[in-house]
Amino acid sequence: MTQMRTQPETATTAAAEAQPVIEMRDISITFGTVRALDEVSVRLFPGEVHALMGENGAGKSTLIKALTGVYTIDSGVITIDGEQHEFHSPAASQAAGISTVYQEVNLVPNLTVAENMLLGREPRRFGSINVREMNRRARRTLLHLGIDVDPRTVLDEHPIAVQQLVAIARAVDVEAKVLILDEPTSSLDADEVEKLFTVMRRLRDEGVAIVFVSHFLDQIYEIADRMTILRNGRLVEERMVAETSQLELVRLMIGRELETLDKLDRAAPRTESETGTPVLTAVGLGRKNTLEATDLELFEGEVVGIAGLLGSGRTELARLLFGADTADTGDLTVRSHKRRLRSPRHAIDRKIAFSSEDRKAEGVVGDLTVADNMLLALQASRGWLRPIPQATRTRLVKDYIEALDIRPADPTALMRNLSGGNQQKVLLARWLITDPEVLILDEPTRGIDIGAKAQIQAKVAELAAKGMSVVFISAELEEVLRLSDRLVVMRDRRKIHEQTNDDVSVRDVLEIIAGEARGEERTDA
Amino acid sequence: MPETATRAQRVLRHPLLWPVMALVVLLLVNVVAKPSFLDVRMQDGHLYGNLIDIMRNSAPVMLVALGMTLVIATRGIDLSVGAIAAIAAAVACTRIIGAGDEAALSTAVMAMTYAVVVCIVLGAWNGLLVSVLGIQPIIATLILMVAGRGISMAITDGQITTVNNPFFSDLASGFVLTLPLAFLVAVAMVLFTAVLTRRTALGMLIEAVGINPEASRLAGVRARTIIWTVYAFSGLCAGLAGLVIAANTNSVNANSLGLWIELDAILAVVIGGTSLMGGRFSLAGTFVGALFIATLARTIPNIGIPSEVNYLFKAVVVIAVCLLQSPKARALLRVRRSAAPTLAKAGSPA
């Protein structure tokens, strides 16, 4: 490692021939009878961003956990700077210079930003924590990353995006040879992603090897130098990013499932359904410090896509429509009846369903089974005294496991053991089982693999075709545009634009959002 | 894979294994110390012996632990159960004394009904503080834990109240079908609760609220009602326990009745395998846990532990049981024993 840094010319000109800082050779890990990793080899070079590619369940997370000492490998060799190492604990891996930021923010919400960043390695004076020094060090690191956060504030006060950046700051604060970023961008908006990439580039130029996992292909092409593609726990190929086209990459990752996406593109007819009475009408719906008064109409058989950056008010609007937060102003009319939604329960009784963007905290009930998770909303609305009959339970669960291709197809599996994509499908099933008229999906495809994503998108199109009114929110504009019949653009906590989706392009939407920034009013709603 | 697991593996993974093992080991220790420990004899149509005593003595803890199990499953805790038990006893005893015919069956029934209703109200008070006002359960129930003693003192005027009603005292010392009535009452409550939670959707909704309150709220679960219900139920259970304790001595001492029973109950719940973090609960586990606590109380004099160290002994046993149950501690034990199985696992086909 130090050798590499003292000889920059070899590092930059001949990376391929350089010695990898870490080499994992023929790594296998078995859980029970499941082979999670089967003789996978990966090489990480100093001064490179290395993307780990593959669907959920391909073995990316397992590989990372093998490298960070969370899992013990069954066979294979890990060498660091040519020396063989064995990690039996995350601490051992950290001591060897490997730092990790996991997919979900793994911090302590009620500690301060500085405390989180330096947790476990607090500067001490006379045996007690030196708070001033801690804040000073945290501020310096944050400044280095260009993150404008007061280190003395409590972490919980900040949005997920900022918490994510703090997690990265924590990892960067350790002098790391290898920085592993597992889905760091899934909850960041474009600006924040750019900020993160700036930091990643800086660290890369300092000679750090960065492992990057992301489901956003554009990000891979923007930042990564080399990639390793995994499928079903096996190594597919190691490639240089510049020498691989996106189409080729997707094919390597998923193969046949690409057809589902193609089919979807053809099968999404734009419906002209703004006739008759809307299923749901919001007039001046708003909440202090959350959302300015907003009007919205939802019609049968229509997908309304809500586009906007993180913090634009897209999630806040969805929560008000569902009664997850209560509105202080405005009226909501459901099927020509004026309603005040004081709780999610009220909304569910009016046949409105809402799947939250925060799957882990607001959707998944980890220690219950897949079946119980699926039936939770229906059971809740029936009340505890009227359990769903066993025969109905079995049938509903079996039907939805099949219809949504949930794996494992085992109703008794614990929810927390499922991959993100399958959890998302179970949550979708939870709401479909309540037979809603309005289905609000906030980021239903975040952090899940392309196969599951295509299946969920196809399902949304199918539901709308059957007459359901769907609100679809996603940070991925392509996805919103592909699915929606009507498009609502939000910015700065209010609706700035609404139009029928007649082949609107991503560029158009970005211009609408940016146009507002230049002060042009473009509201034609 | 679960479907290919052998019967032995399934038994080894069963959550009840460790509580039952602990109970069996404890009984064995007693037999070693005194070979006649397990002897049960028949006299006047009733069974007598240490085992029968353990059954009877387990009733109060079992009842309290039963309500506690559901409360803990919702991520809560109920510290007020001992005080509620004292109030139940105080209410029942003063009612019996105040009645026209102190020894009548109707007097006993009326007094106990009255006491139980009061306890449900007290439990509902706890539920109100926790679910509506959002006070942390440990603080909310601490209020009644302290105030409850005062209330029961006020009810009994600070006197030890003695009652004379054969029907009331049967609750503790009576026998039905050769077994102690108190134990049968507790078992009946366990069965009733099992049916109530597992045949309806109550158990699943309690667990959902305990595991992820926000996800449950967004799924339309009326968490508030559920939390309220479990605290009221815990009050009911504590009240029944208080009646059993008072019936055992035919008296109530507001200062000492049910003192520290909340700790025994929490221990029984934890030994039974229900996590204090909330979520999945096991009524069968709590049943075994309560028997364990009662057996432990019997063990101390039986194996001749001096009375001055009996709390210490109890603590040591509890620590040992908790360690046995901790997956981490068990993993440590396993690592020492099983280098060979790991190799076999790696060599197996995918």
Lowest mean pLDDT among A59-68, A103-112, B20-29: A103-112
Structure tokens at A236: 């597919």
B chain contacts of residue A367, beta-carbon cutoff 8 Å: 207, 211, 279-280
Chain A stretch 346-385, residues whose beta carbon is closer than 8 A to a beta carbon of chain B: 348-349, 354, 356, 361-368, 372, 376-377, 379-385
B350 vs B341: CA distance, rounded Å: 16
Calculate how close chain A gets to B172, using CA atoms only, in Å. Answer: 33
B328 or A330: which carries more pLDDT confidence? A330
Nearest neighbour of B346 by CB, restricted to A28, A383, A386: A28
A38 touches chain B (CB under 8 A): yes
- The DSSP element (H or E) to which A339 belongs, if any, is strand A337-339
The answer to pTM > 0.80 is no
Minimum distance, in Å, between the CA of residue B303 and any CA atom of chain A: 41
Residue A518 pLDDT:
43
- The reply to whether residue A356 touches residue B218, judged by beta carbons under 8 angstroms, is yes
- Region B20-45: what's the mean pLDDT? 89
Confidence of residue B188 (pLDDT cuts 50, 70, 90): very high
Mean pLDDT of A126-139: 86
Q: Are A253 and A451 in contact (CB under 8 A)?
A: no
For chain B, what is the domain count? 1
pLDDT of residue B108: 92
Is residue A41 classed as helix, strand or coil in its secondary structure?
A: strand
Residue B2 forms part of a structural domain: no
Longest dimension (CA), chain A: 74
Confidence band of B345 (pLDDT split at 50, 70, 90): very low
Look at residue A219 in the predicted model and tell me its pLDDT. Answer: 86
Q: What is the DSSP letter of A154?
A: B
Give the lowest-confidence range in A428-437, B93-102, B237-246, B260-269.
Answer: B93-102
A156 C-beta neighbours (distance < 10 Å), count = 12
- Nearest CB partner across the interface for B346, out of A74, A382, A386: A74
Nearest CA in chain A to B2: A32
Task: Write down the pLDDT at residue A523.
Answer: 44
Q: State the best of A367, A369, A427, A431 to mutate against chain B, taking most chain B CBs within 10 Å.
A: A367
Average pLDDT over residues B319-331: 77
Q: Which CATH number do you get for residue B22?
A: 1.10.3470
Interface of A with B in 158-197 (CB under 8 A): none
Mean pLDDT of chain B: 88
Local structure of A144: helix, strand or coil: helix
- Which of the 8 DSSP states describes residue A502? S
Neighbours of B109 (CB within 10 A): 12
The model's pLDDT over A28-76, given as tens digits with 9 standing for 90+, comes to 988 776 778 889 999 999 999 999 988 766 888 889 988 988 888 888 9
pLDDT at B286 over 90: yes
Rounded Cα–Cα distance for residues B242 and B137 (Å): 22
Domain contains B349: no
What is the reported pLDDT for A522?
43
Residue B325 in domain: yes
Question: Could you read off the pLDDT of A274-288 as tens digits, one per residue?
Answer: 567 889 999 999 998
Mean pLDDT of A349-360: 93
Separation of alpha carbons B88 and B241, rounded Å: 9
pLDDT at A309: 73
What range defines the domain where residue B30 resides?
9-336
More reliable by pLDDT, A520 or A88: A88
User: Could you give the angle at which helices A390-403 and A420-432 cross, rounded to 10 degrees?
Assistant: 130
**What domains are defined for chain A?**
1-97+177-184+208-244 (3.40.50.300), 262-517 (3.40.50.300)
What's the pLDDT tens digit per position in A148-196? 788 999 988 887 777 877 887 887 777 778 989 888 776 677 777 887 8
The angle at the Cα of A475, spanning A474 to A481, to the nearest 5 degrees, equals 60
Q: In 3-state terms, what secondary structure has residue A289?
A: coil
d(C-alpha A386, C-alpha A404), whole Å: 27
On the question of pLDDT at A4 being above 60, the answer is no
Residue B179 lies in a domain: yes
A350-359, A508-517, B9-18, B118-127: which is most confident: B118-127
Q: Collect all residues of chain B within an 8 Å Cβ-Cβ radius of residue A345.
A: 220, 222
Chain A residue with Cα closest to B220: A345
Residue B348: per-residue pLDDT: 40
Cis peptide before A408 (omega within 30 of 0): yes
Instruction: Judge whether B81 lies within some domain.
Output: yes
> If pLDDT is split at 50, 70 and 90, which confidence band does B189 have?
very high
Determine the length of chain A.
525
Band of the pLDDT at A516, cuts 50, 70, 90? low
Q: How many helices (H) and strands (E) does chain A have?
A: 20, 22
Pull the structure tokens for residue B93: 């005893």
Average pLDDT score over residue span B334-338: 63
CA distance B224 to chain A (A): 12
Q: What is the dihedral of CA A93, A224, A103, A421, to 10 degrees?
A: -130
Is the residue at B345 inside a domain?
A: no
Judged by a CB distance cut-off of 8 A, whether residue B216 touches chain A is yes
A to B CB pairs, distance under 8 Å: 95
Mean pLDDT of A292-316: 88
Q: Going by C-beta distance under 8 Å and a sequence separation of 6 or more, which residues neighbour residue A424?
A: A355, A359, A444, A445, A448, A452, A456
In angstroms, the first-to-last Cα distance of chain A is 59
Tell me: pLDDT of A226 over 80: yes
The chain B residue lying nearest A434, using CA atoms, is B219
Of B201, B216, B350, nearest to A35 by CB-CB distance is: B350
If contacts are CB pairs under 8 Å, which of residues 82-141 in chain A contact chain B?
Answer: none
Q: Does B345 contact chain A (CB < 8 Å)? A: yes
**What is the spatial distance between Cα B346 and Cα B350, in angstroms, rounded to a whole number?**
9
Tell me if B346 and A384 make a contact (CB, 8 A cut-off). no
Query: Is position B341 within any domain?
Result: no
**Angle formed by the axes of helices A370-382 and A420-432, to 10°?**
30
Q: Any CB–CB contact under 8 A between B200 and chain A? A: yes
Is the pLDDT at A263 greater than 70, yes or no?
A: no
Please say if the pLDDT value at position B7 is more than 90.
no
Instruction: Give A344→chain B minimum CA distance, Å.
Output: 6
> Count of residues for chain B?
350
Q: CA nearest A186: which of A205, A161, A207?
A: A161
H or E element, residue A235: strand A234-240
A458-498 pLDDT, tens digit per residue, is 999 999 999 999 999 988 888 899 899 999 999 878 899 99
Q: CA-to-CA distance for B31 and B302, rounded, in angstroms?
A: 9
CA separation, residue A31 to residues A62, A73, A114, A518, B239 (Å): 11, 11, 37, 55, 48
- Reported as a single tens digit per residue, the pLDDT across A393-447 is 999 999 999 999 898 889 999 999 888 889 999 999 999 999 999 999 999 988 7
Answer for the pair A442, A424: CB distance below 8 angstroms, yes or no. Answer: no
Instruction: Provide the Cα torsion B258, B262, B267, B269; round to 10°.
Output: 110
Question: What is the structure's pLDDT at A127?
Answer: 78
Residue A494: the pLDDT is 87
Rounded percentage of chain A residues whose pLDDT exceeds 90:
37
pLDDT score for A94: 81
* Per-residue model confidence as pLDDT tens digits over A365-403: 999 999 999 999 999 999 888 999 999 999 999 999 999
Exposure on the CB side of residue B84, measured as CA atoms within 13 A: 36
Alpha helices in A96-189 (DSSP H): 113-117, 131-145, 160-173
Contact A44, A86 (CB under 8 A): no
d(CA B232, CA A299): 45
Per-residue pLDDT at B3:
47
B165 pLDDT more than 60: yes
Helical segments of chain B, H only: 7-13, 17-33, 50-73, 81-98, 105-127, 137-155, 166-173, 181-198, 202-211, 213-218, 223-249, 261-271, 283-302, 310-325, 327-337, 339-347
Evaluate if residue B339 carries a pLDDT over 50: no
Contacts of A361 in chain B (CB under 8 A): 212, 214-215
Q: Is some CB atom of chain A closer than 8 A to the CB atom of B280?
A: yes
- Cross-chain residue pair B214–A364, CB shorter than 8 Å: no
Mean pLDDT, rounded, for A212-224 = 85
From B342, B111, B131, B350, select the one nearest B229 (Cα to Cα): B131
Confidence band of B338 (pLDDT split at 50, 70, 90): low
